Structure 1
Amino acid sequence: MSAVEQAFSRSYAQARQQFLEATATAGMALQSQPHPLTGVEGEALAMDVARDGAMDADKLLILSSACHGIEGYCGSGVQMYALRDAEWLDKARSAGVAVLYVHALNPHGFSYGRRVTQENVDLNRNFVDFSQPLPANAAYDQLHDVIIPAQWPPGPEAEQAMQAFIAANGMKAWQAAVAQGQYRHPQGVFFGGQAPTWSNQILRQVLRQHGSQARQIAWIDVHTGLGPNGYGERIFTGPPGDAAMLARARRWWDGAGATPVTSIDDGSSSSPPLSGLLWNSVAQECPQAAFTGMALEYGVLPVHATLDALRADHWLHQHPEAPEAQQAAIHQQMREAFYDESAAWKGQIISQARQALFQTVDGLGSDAS
């Protein structure tokens, strides 16, 4: 088995064991934040954090996985390869860049093969100010019973309503209505929550501890589920309208146009505009640092197939009495929507992530002044 394939795991439990062993071998300081619940195999769950570099380093790179649970198969693989990559480790250390590997932001979803947390919350919609009125999503409110119908597969009425919406508004509008984030339907898809999740609270603790002395913070958060198979879209993560931050991200990561950095704000990304995103936590917990972030988003299946997998998963969550064969089929549908187990796909993931990591160190160095 190649080094690339060895980096990927068959389960959360295996991925975590690999991470703990690799960080120990590399001599990195490790902290484990225990999750209050256990995993699908009865295993312990945790957000594991390994740091390579001094606590007072001016430059910090965060590499995180499993914001969306099941997407951790990919993100953990990226982290594992990096932890065993002597050239990469030397590159970061020689440049004085501390690297924070945050393994499994959402360990519960990773273990159970779901995208959401144990609260049924999409973690990347959970970073809103809950003391203020929550973002509205009128289109989702209209479509909730169509998105998650009473039966699965959907009956003709639900399918007709979905197709009518798409015919009237287009596929992008359907994707936006479903994925933007909603805060009124706790059992629905892309639910942003009504309070900070466990993962939200623990991540903020990690950022305060590890980011408070940094003058520059870069963050690569690894995702799957959007775009062409195997292609890693570099999606800018930062405040809408921050032209200087977007320009910096493009200067670091666009590879002279070969690897363009897209933005959900100007319509160049495969992702629609979203609410409650993860990057808000850095601005709030590490306000002293200049921040540059991206979501490295790898494609697996076409977007309609991915959304159908998510709809099925949420339907199943509400119907635990479903026949075992149907349960197994939906779990497999989810896995295939967010993780391609082919060697070719894994090779594409690692090569693009490795390029982005090296570019990040160079970017931090060029902007050190």
Structure 2
Amino acid sequence: MNKYFSENYFQAREKFRKSTAKLKKSNYHIIDDLTIDVAESHPKKKEKLLIIISGTHGVEGYVGSAFQLFFIDKYLSKIKDKYGILLIHSLNPYGFKNNRRYNENNVDLNRNNNKDFSKINYFFNKNKLFKEENIFNIKRAFLSDNFERIRYNLLLYKLILKHGISKTIQLIGHGQNKYPKGLCYSGKNKEKSILFLDKKIKEITKDYKETILIDVHTGAAKKYNLDIFTANKLNEIKIDVPFKSTNTKKKGTDHIGGIENSLFENSKSKKNIHFTLEFGTINKYSTVISLNYLSYLLFKENQITNFGPFEKIPKIRQKMKKAYFPENKKFKENMLKKTKDFLERIINYQ
């Protein structure tokens, strides 16, 4: 079991490279000695293409990498004559290495895939939520945990009372491109990782009739559970998996800048299916409790990283790793069990 899991980015990358030795491989340099690693395999008859991405949110790459290694070990040889395979290891290698969710430019890659970055703040402007913008833009060093937690909760409760839980969740997670050192920064242009992904999908899908993209995440689902989301409409998917559609088509409330945009905007396949997998890591009873814990942790980590005190960075980064990758036997066993069940359904899809 432990052979699938790694202690750090470099170990995960080495395991991935060794496990894909017989496949066509390449890597894409991002910064310093950090790379996105790619492995691919193509059957003689190109019908279906399966794309699996890990590490979109950096620190979530521990589980994403394990997912890919498990797939390679248990399923690759069984389906390589039926499916084309594209494995993208650590889309955000800087975040993976440094136990951050954001990349080397403090950008959330899952909010960076936009054609028009001027639309990012539509939701906030419409609802006048920038009056509470200091939740994104605290330009000072992190103070005591007690003070910051109380302050954060007061801001959060104020938002909930004024706008409701749904809009508040969108406010925090929707993405913003006003504050480069703030939370959930989408950037103002596509990052290197996203440009790479767009180009790769455009090139590799041209001969395939159908493409399935799986983007592996961890965090807010109930602990030991797997939540499956899709940006497709409900009637577009015939695969027997318990998914939830995020395709609401309500302007300003849908997911802006997600990885799925690379698929839908660049794929040459006639049919395209997207799944985001969310392995729960925090609370086994409530996603709301998990979201509250993780949102405060992200706020704290981002503030310390950008404004200090900088000597606290190693400790907060370890907390990030623990939050998104519980290194205990029960979590690992459950994660692999859920992975097996999901992959069985995918490979048996006709």
Deviations 1:247-267 (A, max 9, x none): 243x3132xxxxx21122459
Partner residue of 2:78?
A: 91
Partner residue of 1:70?
A: 59
Deviation at 1:226, TM superposition (A): 1.5
Partner residue of 1:291?
A: 272
Partner residue of 1:110?
A: 96
* Partners of 1:235 and 1:262 within 8 A in 2: yes
Query: What is the TM-score with the length of structure 2 in the denominator?
Result: 0.88
Matched residues, percent identical?
A: 23
Matching of residue 234 in structure 1 with residue 228 in structure 2: yes
Partner residue of 1:354?
A: 340
SS of match in other structure, 1:227:
coil
* Partners of 1:125 and 1:181 within 8 A in 2: yes
Partner residue of 1:261?
A: 243
Amino acid at match of 1:9: S
CA RMSD between the two structures = 2.2
SS of match in other structure, 1:78:
helix
* Partners of 2:113 and 2:259 within 8 A in 1: yes
Partners of 1:209 and 1:147 in 2: CA distance: 37
* Partners of 1:7 and 1:77 within 8 A in 2: yes
SS of match in other structure, 2:220:
strand
Check 1:214–1:185 CA distance in 2 against 1; reply closer, same or farther (3 A cut).
same
Q: Counterparts in 2 of 1:109-128, with a 5 A limit?
A: 109-128=95-114
Deviation at 1:338, TM superposition (A): 1.1
Deviation at 1:215, TM superposition (A): 0.8
Deviates more, 1:330-339 or 1:64-73: 330-339
Q: Counterparts in 2 of 1:315-330, with a 5 A limit?
A: 315-320=303-308, 322=309, 324=311, 326-330=312-316
Partners of 1:354 and 1:156 in 2: CA distance: 41
Deviation at 1:122, TM superposition (A): 0.9
Deviation at 1:323, TM superposition (A): 5.3
* Partners of 1:69 and 1:114 within 8 A in 2: yes
Where does the alignment leave 5 or more consecutive residues of structure 1 unmatched? 39-43, 255-259
Partners of 1:164 and 1:235 in 2: CA distance: 29
Runs ≥4 residues deviating over 6 A:
none
Partner residue of 1:314?
A: 302
- Residue 25 of structure 2: which of 9, 24, 30 is its match? 30
* Partners of 2:48 and 2:84 within 8 A in 1: yes
* Partners of 1:180 and 1:190 within 8 A in 2: yes
Deviates more, 1:189-198 or 1:277-286: 277-286
Query: What is the TM-score with the length of structure 1 in the denominator?
Result: 0.83
Q: How many residues in Structure 1 have an aligned counterpart in Structure 2? A: 332
Where does the alignment leave 5 or more consecutive residues of structure 2 unmatched? 283-289
SS of match in other structure, 2:208:
coil
Partners of 1:187 and 1:137 in 2: CA distance: 20
